[in-house]
Structure 1
Amino acid sequence: MDTAQAPAQSQPTFRDATEDDIPVLVRLVESAYRGDASRAGWTTEADILDGQRTDAQGVREVVEAPAGRMLLAELDGEPVACCQLEHRGTAAYFGMFAVKPELQGAGLGKVIIAEAERAARASWGVREMHMTVITVREELIAWYERRGYRRTGELTPFPYDDERFGIPRREGLALELLVKEL
């Protein structure tokens, strides 16, 4: 959506998240996707999903995954964005992407995703980045397409029976695989 004025700030610094970061990561991801706080940004899923987006156990699994990492972006020492990277053969999976709602639309997301792609290539020599996006999130999919991702048409049903991913407010939700050559 990239419509907000870029805040006067330094460029983010990046590091791998640790176990000590789990509480702040849960708050960051929840704030970007669920509840009224998420409506300050444009990535909210509050109209399609209730409940949680993640929890401490879900974040811990990403942080501790032997084939992955949770990349944390900070501005002036404050955590402002994160994303999951997981090595999957010749590709990397990009997930759990969250930018602090009040900073969305200012160009920070572009910087984060570019760093994630660079890190995946450098760490694992992968040739593709994969992600899944809820198909009704057309504006978000369009944002990824502007960054070089393409829709594959490969759909996975939303996990309606697992509240760890949220409580759907409508029927027919599905996740579509998006792919970018790196």
Structure 2
Amino acid sequence: MKGIIFTEFISIVEEQFGLEISQKMFDHANDTGVYTAVGSYDHRQLIKLIMSLSHITNIPAQQLQQTYGRLVFPTLLKTLPVPDIESDDTFSFIEKVEHHIHIEVKKLHPDVTPPKFVFSNKTQSTMTMDYHSARCMGHVCMDVLEGCANYFNQSLTIAMQPMNTSQSHVRFSLTLNGD
């Protein structure tokens, strides 16, 4: 997993909870906390940090993942390898992530395996999207989708359905809410 995911997580923890809680999280996880945005790291270390933060704050790990997903979207948007990619709405942007951005990410970083999105049943106001990832971070994905909708000033209702017990395959049913 690219280091920017880690560095942004750490920044969000520091902003939301403060440096003391951040240090407690690292201590509890037995982690040095040394990450660079351009490095590559094992995704299990991020999960360990989330679980440690959950233990310290008594906030469910699922809720922490969702908050992170929503807050990290603007930063991820700024780091896209395709800076001129234009979209007018949430659905077209999500499709471009799979059909353009993930392809460019793999060209730039051959060792990276971004999640795969498979789209079906798309209308102007609804979309079904299957998320496939060995990292099993569907809750993060769900709120990255929410962050995307917020960016486009759209309201989105998201239903998340795990398709297997590991949650490496999750189906999202997305509905744009009327203005």
Q: TM-score, normalised to structure 2's length? A: 0.29
Higher relative helix content: 2
